[in-house]
Amino acid sequence: MTERTMPVVPGVDHRWIDVDGVSLHVAEAGAAHRSTDRPSLVLLHGWPQHWFCWRKVMPALAETHHVVALDLRGAGWSDVPEGTSAYDKRVMADEIARAIELLELDRPVLLGHDWGAWISLLVASRHPGSTRGVVATAIVAPWADMPWHQLWRFAYQPIAGGPAGAFLHRHAKQVLLKTIFKLGASRKFRWQRSEREEYLARYRDPARARAGQSMYRAFMLKEMPQIGRGYARRVDEIPLLFLPGTGDVVLAPSLVRRAEGPPNVTVTEISGSGHWVPEEKPAELVGHVRDFLRQF
């Protein structure tokens, strides 16, 4: 697989933008709707994936809205800055906010999954006025505290971000990533080998393997110690929709619901879904997003 070769999704076009020296890959659909009064949608993937995780979602949303899916730095077909600090999620959120400016999007709605959802919430937190709302799938709020007795759910993070993290992203038959994909899914969901391979192939690149390691190393060393201690401002001024899967053993609904309370926050469980909501339950996700968009 060459650097500019990627899977094909009908109706999706591709380009790259330079964001302060970092080239970010942009997958785009529904451009005809950009000039309407409907907000654009910015889709952000999580680990260990890239824009292709939205393949079952983008075409449906593009029927009525302009949709942009970005590859985060270090993933997919975007540039790969080196160093742990480059993958602090606050740095990545600031980069996405800058990308929104460069793409000339007028307060888009952000739709994120996993780290992409965390980063979407940080964009709203760190850049008030940059977005009209956030739909966050399979993630907790970055301003909510995490009970110590629940940290066992995140035991994979020291493995992914530890000294052998980059090696395990690429080698040992990529058993780390394959295990993550399998254990994160609901019992009834089965990955198509060819689709899973689209993600595995990118992490055979040494630089992207190091980036995957740095995503977790930065979180464990720089971010996690600050959660609940001013890491992120709670977002109160725009609507937020959290969509956890009922079968997600890591980002369980009970953890996600710790964000409930403020009137702008809604938590709705996706029944029967594991962690990979955009791929396990795309129709349900599209339905919730469309309902969310009716308020704008």
Residues 44-55: tens digit of each pLDDT: 999 999 999 999
- pLDDT tens digits, 196-228: 999 999 999 999 999 999 999 999 999 999 988
Task: Single out the residue of 12, 6, 124, 105 nearest to residue 57, CA to CA.
Answer: 12
Judged by DSSP in three states, 67 sits in: strand
Query: Which band of pLDDT confidence, cut at 50, 70 and 90, is reported for residue 1?
Result: very low
Cα 290 to Cα 3: distance, rounded to the nearest angstrom = 34
Q: How many Å is the maximal CA-CA distance in the chain? A: 50
Q: Does the model's pTM come out above 0.85?
A: yes
Question: What is the chain's percent helix, strand, coil content, to nearest 5?
Answer: 45, 15, 45
List the structure tokens of 61: 């949303």
